Chain A
Amino acid sequence: MSIAFNREQGLKSLTLMIRSRLFEKKIEALFSSHEMHGTTHLAIGQEAVHAGVSPALDPEDWILTTHRCHGHTLAKGASVEAMLSEFFGLSQGLSKGLGGSMHLVDLEHHNGGTSAVVGSGVAIATGMALQLKRTGSHNLVVAFFGDGASSRGIIHEAMNMASIWNLPVLFLCEHNLYGMSSCATNMVSVESIASRGASYSIESRTVDGNDVEVVYAAVQEAAQYIREESRPYLLETRTYRLSGHSKNDIRNYRTREEEAAWSQRDPLKILKERMIARGHLSEDDYNLLEKHEQKSLDKIAESLAKQKRYLSFEEASSYVYATGGSR
C-alpha cells in the first residue's frame, strides 16, 4: 500500500529530506571541527521515516522521540535556526542550551521531546496518550523507538498498557538494523518486530522505511485506524543508518559493501528518481533545491557560530524546579 505524491507533495517531501540530510552533514562537520561539543547521533539514510511520519499526522498529534531526534524534530516543524541554536548551546535554542543534540523538544509543534534512555520514551508517550484519551482529545502520540530499544522491558510494559487501556499510541519502530554496533540479526529474537504486536493484541505491519510514499501512506492508515478503532498500532519501518552510531564511530562492525548496497536504496535517491520519472522534477531542479538549502543552512550556521548568548548559571538553575531555584 502506497500513495503517489503529486508534484507539490513530492517537492515538499523532497525538500524536507534534503534539509534533514544537509543538516546532519553540517552537524557532522561542526563536530569534527570541534565547533560543537558533546556528542551527536545522525540519522543519515533514515530520512524517509521522519519525512513520512509527522507530515502524515494532524499537526496537533504529538511525537516523543529518541536521542536520534534531529530529523523527527525538523519534520514536526521546528526551524533549523532554533535547532542549530540548541546545538551551539545558545539561549535562544529549543531548550536554551540545556538539552543539546539528544534532547530536542518543541512544545509549539506538539513535539514532546525525547528520551535518550532508549526505550524509556515509549512509556512517556503512552502516558501522554492516556491523558489525551482522558481529556477527550482526538489526537494521538507517536512513540519512536529503534530495533536496539525493542529489547527493553519497558516496551513490553508500555505496549501491554496501551492495549488494555485502548490508548491512541502509534508505536513507530525505526528499524535501522543497528543498535550502536549490534546488528539486529544477533540481538532481536524475531525477524519482524511488528510480529510482536500480536503478543499485545496490537495491529501491526512492517513497511519499507526508505520509501517516503510508503511510510506516509502507512502512517495515514495507522492514524486513521487509531482514531476510528480507539486502539494502539505498531508500525515497523525497515531502514538503514548510513551514518555511524555517534561521532567517532569507525563502523568496524559492518562492511563497506553492505553500506554501498544500502546506499543504492538511499531514500533521497528513491524519491528523486521517482519524481524525475513522473516528470515532476529535473536534475537541475534537484541541484538547485539542494544548493538553495545548503546556502540557507550555511548562512544560519555561520551567524550562530559567532554568537555567545548563553544562559547564566543562575538562569540555568532556575529551571531545575518549576517552582524556581535549584533546591
Chain B
Amino acid sequence: MKKLSYREAIREAMIEEMARDEQVVIIGEDVGCYGGCFKVTTGLLERFGTHQVIETPVSEEGLVGVAVGAAMLGMRPVVEIMYGDFSTLAADPLINHAAKTHFMTAGQFSVPLVYRTPMGSGTGAAAQHTQSLEALFTNIPGLKVVYPATPIDAKGLLKSAIRDPDPVIFLEHKVYGTESVIPEGEFTIPLGLADIKRQGKDVSIITYGKTVFTVLKAAAILEDTEVSVEIIDLRSLRPLDTPTILESVRKTGRAVVVHEAPQFGGFAGEVVAQIVGDEETFRALKAPVARVCGKEMPTPFNKDLERQLPPSPQAIIEAVLALFPSAV
C-alpha cells in the first residue's frame, strides 16, 4: 500500500497504461513540459515523448475531433480538456460523433476515447471555469460517464476507461491534492459499479465526485445525533449502478441525493426517478426523496458567495433530519 494524491493516482493510471500500450496517447493543451493546467500530466512528455504525448493548439473542438478520428483507426486517445466548461466546445465531436460512430456504422468503427476534464467550483475562477456539466453527457446513449472522488477510484476507473472500447467521459474534481492509500501494483475498477462508502441503516445518501467528501463530513456529524447514514458513491453515472441504489434505499427507507451541479434538470433527478420508479423501493420509502444540490446561479467570483453555492454539510444534515419528522 502507498499514499497517493488524486492527481498522482490519475497520472499513475496513465503512465501504466501508456507503458502497457503505445496506442494510449495523451492529447491536450499544455500537457507537455507545462504538465497540464492542473499538473496532472507532469513528466509524461519526458518519459514517453511526442509519440505518446501530443500538445495541441487552443482548438478544443478540433483536438477532440482529431482524437475521434485517430481512435477510429486504433489509437486510444486520452484527451485532456483543461476546464470542464470548455466541453461546450467539444460537444460536437463528443455528442454527434464519438457517441454515434459505433452505432451509425453498425460496429464497423468504435471510438475508444477517454475525455478527461475537471469540473466544479471552489477555485475562485468565476462562472466560465467552475461549472458541473455532467448532465450534458449523461443523457447521451453511446457515451459512458464516470466521476471518481477518491485517488483509488480515479486510478482504477481511469485504467478501465482507457481499456474500454467506447468513449468514456472521465470527470475529475479539482481537489487534486486529496490523498488516500492505494494498493501497489496492477488493479482496475470496472465502470458501472457504485461503492458503498459507509454502511448505515437510517438513510441512504447518494452522491459522486467532490460532494462525496461533503457527505462524509455530514454523516460523521449525524452520527452524533444517532442517525446512521449509508453513503453510496456512484463513481459511474452511465452506466448507473441502479441495483446498489435500490438495495440500499429498500433497507433504509430514506434517500437524499447530493451533487454540486444545479438541482433543476440535474442528474439527481434521474437517481430519484430510479428510486421511485421501482415499485418495491417505492413501497419501502418512509419519507419523500430529497435532493441537496448546487444553487441555481452561475458561480459568483466573490469568495464568500462562491462558498455558498455547492451543498454544505449543514444543508445535507438539515435535509436528512427533515426526513425524521419526530426527531426535529
Question: Which residues of B from 136 to 194 have beta carbons under 8 Å from A?
Answer: 141-142, 144, 164-166
CA distance A107 to B109 in the complex (A): 8
Chain B residues, Cβ within 8 Å of A113: 101, 104-105, 108-109
CB <8 Å contact, B104 and A120? no
Give min CB distance, A84 to chain B, whole Å.
Answer: 16
Question: A6-14, A92-100, A188-196, A258-266: which one contacts chain B?
Answer: A92-100
- Contact at B69–A323, with CB atoms within 8 Å? no
CB-based contact B75/A161 at 8 Å: no
* In the assembled complex, B291 has its CB within 8 A of some CB on chain A: no
Contact status B110-A157, CB under 8 Å: no
Q: Which residue of A115, A124, A319 is within 8 Å of B103 (Cβ)?
A: A319
Contact A107–B105 (Cβ < 8 Å) = yes
Q: Mark B62-85, 1 if CB is under 8 A from A, else 0.
A: 111111111111110000000000
Q: Select B67's contact among A120, A127, A154, A327, beta carbons within 8 Å.
A: A127
Minimum distance in angstroms from A36 CB to a CB of chain B: 18
Is the CB–CB distance between A160 and B105 below 8 Å?
Answer: no
Q: Is the CB of B93 within 8 A of A134?
A: no
* A131: interface (CB < 8 Å): yes
A107 to nearest B CB, angstroms? 4
Contact partner of B96 among A117, A135, A153, A165, CB < 8 A? A117
On chain A, the residues within 8 Å of B102 by CB distance are: 319-322
Chain A residues numbered 38-89 whose CB sits less than 8 Å from any CB in chain B: 64
Q: A149-174: contact bitstring with B at CB < 8 Å (1 yes, 0 no)?
A: 00001100110110011000000000
A126 close to chain B: CB less than 8 A: yes
- A2 at interface by CB-CB < 8 Å: no
Closest CB in chain A relative to B298 CB, distance in Å:
25
Is residue B308 within 8 Å, beta carbon to beta carbon, of the partner chain? no
Question: Bound state CA distance, A64 and B65, in angstroms?
Answer: 13
Instruction: Tell me whether A272 is interfacial, beta carbon within 8 Å.
Output: no
Q: Closest A-chain residue to B73, C-beta based?
A: A131
Given contacts A103-B104, A327-B239, A124 and B62 within 8 Å (CB-CB)? no
- Alpha-carbon separation in the docked complex, A123 to B112 (Å): 17
Whole-angstrom distance between the Cβ of A69 and the nearest chain B Cβ: 12
Q: In the complex where A112-B109, A131-B69 touch, is A120 in contact with B238 (Cβ < 8 A)?
A: no
Chain B residues whose C-beta falls within 8 Å of the C-beta of A120 in the assembled complex: 65, 92-93, 96-97
Question: B240 — which chain A residues lie within 8 A by C-beta?
Answer: 327
CA distance A281 to B240 in the complex (A): 65
A122–B59 Cα gap in the complex (Å)?
14
Contact: B75 with A153, CB < 8 Å?
no
**Which listed residue, B57, B69, B105, touches A127 by the CB 8 Å rule?**
B69
Interface footprint category on A = 35 or more
Contact A131-B105, Cβ < 8 Å, known A153-B61, A161-B57 = no
Residues of B close to A154: CB separation below 8 A:
61-62, 65, 92
Q: Residue of A at shortest CB range from B141?
A: A320
Report the Cα distance A103→B102, complex, angstroms: 12
Q: Are B57 and A123 in contact (CB under 8 A)?
A: no
Compute how far the CA of A160 lies from the CA of B63 in the bound complex, rounded to whole angstroms.
11
Alpha-carbon distance A84/B104, docked complex (angstroms):
16
Interface pair B66/A160, CB less than 8 Å apart: no
Is A235 positioned at the interface, with any CB of B under 8 Å from its CB? no
* Cβ–Cβ < 8 Å partners of A326 in chain B: 141
- CB-based nearest B residue for A108: B108
Check B104–A98 contact: CB distance below 8 A.
yes
B residues 106-143 touching A (CB-CB < 8 Å)? 106-110, 112, 141-142
- When A128-B72, A161-B56 are in contact, do A105 and B109 touch as well, CB less than 8 Å? yes
Given contacts A131-B75, A320-B103, 16 further A-B contacts (CB under 8 A): A105-B108, A120-B96, A123-B62, A124-B72, A128-B70, A130-B70, A131-B74, A135-B74, A141-B69, A157-B62, A161-B62, A164-B57, A319-B106, A320-B142, A322-B166, A323-B164
Interface pairs (17), CB distance under 8 Å: A96-B106, A105-B108, A106-B108, A113-B108, A117-B92, A123-B66, A124-B72, A127-B69, A128-B72, A130-B70, A131-B75, A135-B73, A157-B59, A161-B57, A319-B102, A320-B142, A322-B110
Instruction: List the 8 closest A-B pairs by CB distance, nearest first.
Output: A127-B69, A123-B65, A157-B62, A127-B66, A322-B165, A157-B59, A124-B69, A96-B106
